[in-house]
């Protein structure tokens, strides 16, 4: 439990580069978290229960970051689609253990892009392995060019938390993914959609733990985007209520 002078410690799983065996993460997550009032802590991908349990005991919340790999479809009972990308057992397993540890401690979670997808799988849901191949009249969700450029609109559920943070029922977001939520996981409510019907945000319906998942990247361009700033500030505020 935090006292009034402490800032919450926020764990962020890193990525793995198999070419040089390094853990890494773009700077934007830590900057967005720090700007919102949290202390970012990068977490190496060590999928061991004792490590995750020890880390979780010292955290106040977790941001499940985006990743440059796909969730292994074996984890939701499917074989690999022909357009499945690279999978990372280290990242999948680390995130799943983090989700379990956070759930037992009721730690708040903000799940971004891949993070929202692994959250959905953790709750028993499935994914579209390749949106272009599996959704008719799909939008271009794998954005090219600037990482921060907003590329499509989302429709937000009225009176939802996201609508409050966005100040309305629509927003424009950046997009960097080729997979997405298919069958929704347990106790996850969809609260935003793109024009092609893809779920763009989910929220936990269990009242004992705050979890918000977004399919876009609010950490990219947060300096100029009011919704991104509102998302991180609200998340940090939830980590301080425990």
Positions marked catalytic: 113, 217, 219
In 5-48, at which residue ranges do the beta strands (DSSP E only) sit? Answer: 9-13, 15-17, 22-24, 39-43
Query: Rounded to the nearest 10 degrees, what angle do helices 89-105 and 49-56 cross at?
Result: 50
- Asked whether the beta carbons of 187 and 204 are under 8 A apart, the reply is yes
Nearest Cα neighbor of 198 from 219, 174, 179, 220 is: 179
Paired residues of 180 in beta bridges: 128
Query: Rounded to the nearest 10 degrees, what angle do helices 28-35 and 226-239 cross at?
Result: 70
Cβ contacts of residue 144 below 8 Å, gap of 6+?
A: none
Grouping H, G, I as helix, E, B as strand and the rest as coil, residue 112 is strand
């Amino acid at each position: 439990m935090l006292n009034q002078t402490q800032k919450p410690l926020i764990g962020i799983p890193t990525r793995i580069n198999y070419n040089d065996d390094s853990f890494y993460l773009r700077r934007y997550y830590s900057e967005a978290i720090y700007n919102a009032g949290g202390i970012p802590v990068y977490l190496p991908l060590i999928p061991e229960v004792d490590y995750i349990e020890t880390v979780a005991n010292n955290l106040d919340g977790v941001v499940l970051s985006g990743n440059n790999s796909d969730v292994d479809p074996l984890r939701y009972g499917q074989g690999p689609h022909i357009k499945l990308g690279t999978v990372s057992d280290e990242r999948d397993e680390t995130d799943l253990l983090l989700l379990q540890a956070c759930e037992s401690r009721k730690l708040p979670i903000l799940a971004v892009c891949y993070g929202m997808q692994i959250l959905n799988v953790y709750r028993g849901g499935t994914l579209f392995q390749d949106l272009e191949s599996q959704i008719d009249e799909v939008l271009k969700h794998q954005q090219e060019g600037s990482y921060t450029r907003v590329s499509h609109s989302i429709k937000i559920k009225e009176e939802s938390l996201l609508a409050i943070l966005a100040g309305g029922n629509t927003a424009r977001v950046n997009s960097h993914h080729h997979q997405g939520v298919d069958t929704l996981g347990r106790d996850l409510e969809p609260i935003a959609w793109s024009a092609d019907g893809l779920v763009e945000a989910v929220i936990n319906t269990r009242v004992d733990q705050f979890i918000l998942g977004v399919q876009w990247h609010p950490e990219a361009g947060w300096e100029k985007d009011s919704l991104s700033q509102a998302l991180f500030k609200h998340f940090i505020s939830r980590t301080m209520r425990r």
